[in-house]
Structure 1
Amino acid sequence: MQYVFNPERVCAKVFMVEVDEATRTIVKFDFQGGCPGNLQAINRLTRGMHIDDVIERFTDMPICSGSKVTSCPEQIRKGLIALREKLDSGETSRPAFGLNAFGGLK
């Protein structure tokens, strides 16, 4: 299942995560904007991890000096919490993923 998150107050504009619904493990993490090296590292490090493990590891991360209130890991954590709630509720809506997800961005 693929989900798109719009982070707030960070350089990245969109986070996209593909999750295996049966195991709740991350298959792929993708993004638009932000720091490519850091976010590609997050993709590689979180691939194969259970979403609950990522949520736990990203708790209490330092904030970015530019935003003063949040960070990409914190925004990913919030997105994964929302994803977990959708999975728990059995919600089946599937937002656009890939290039189509970027259509509304400027």
Structure 2
Amino acid sequence: MIDLDFKPRGVCARMIHVELSDDGSAIENVAFDGGCNGNLKAIGRLVAGQPVDSIVELLQGNTCGPRKTSCADQLTLALREAQAKVRA
């Protein structure tokens, strides 16, 4: 399993914890520290077991209010960073 703690920028969440399958293709678990608790727990449940590429395609570029990013958008950066650990 690939584990990563990602510090998001420009959002309310303080940390995103990501666990991917050994080959980095599927999301095992996602948890957020801070942010909109109910919504972010829901995102974690919705993405568990899903392919990384599908979730990145779906959530990348999502914004929050006037911000140019969102917790969901920051999650896509965390997922790609975790995948990079597999290739390293």
**Deviation readout 1:12-43 (Å, 9 max, x if unpaired):** 00000111113621111111100011111111
Using the TM superposition, name which of 24-33 and 9-18 deviates more: 24-33
- Unaligned 5+ runs, structure 1: 92-106
Equivalent in the alignment of 1:57: 58
Q: 1:83 Cα shift?
A: 1.7
Equivalent in the alignment of 2:35: 34
Q: Give secondary structure in 2 for the equivalent of 1:3.
A: strand
Q: Give secondary structure in 1 for the equivalent of 2:19.
A: strand
In the TM superposition, structure 1's runs of 4+ consecutive aligned residues that sit over 3 Å from their partners are none
Hey, what's the Cα distance between the residues in 1 that align with 2:4 and 2:40? 16
Q: Does the 8 Å contact 2:16/2:75 carry over to 1?
A: yes
Compute the RMSD of aligned alpha carbons. Answer: 1.5
Equivalent in the alignment of 1:69: 68
Matched residue count: 87
Q: Does the 8 Å contact 2:3/2:82 carry over to 1?
A: no
- Unaligned 5+ runs, structure 2: none
Q: Does the 8 Å contact 1:4/1:16 carry over to 2?
A: yes
Based on CA coordinates, which of the two structures has the bigger radius of gyration? Answer: 1
Q: Does the 8 Å contact 2:61/2:69 carry over to 1?
A: no
TM-score (norm 1): 0.74
Q: 1:60 Cα shift?
A: 3.0
TM-score (norm 2): 0.87
Among the aligned pairs, what percent are the same residue? 33
Equivalent in the alignment of 1:85: 84
Amino acid at match of 2:85: K
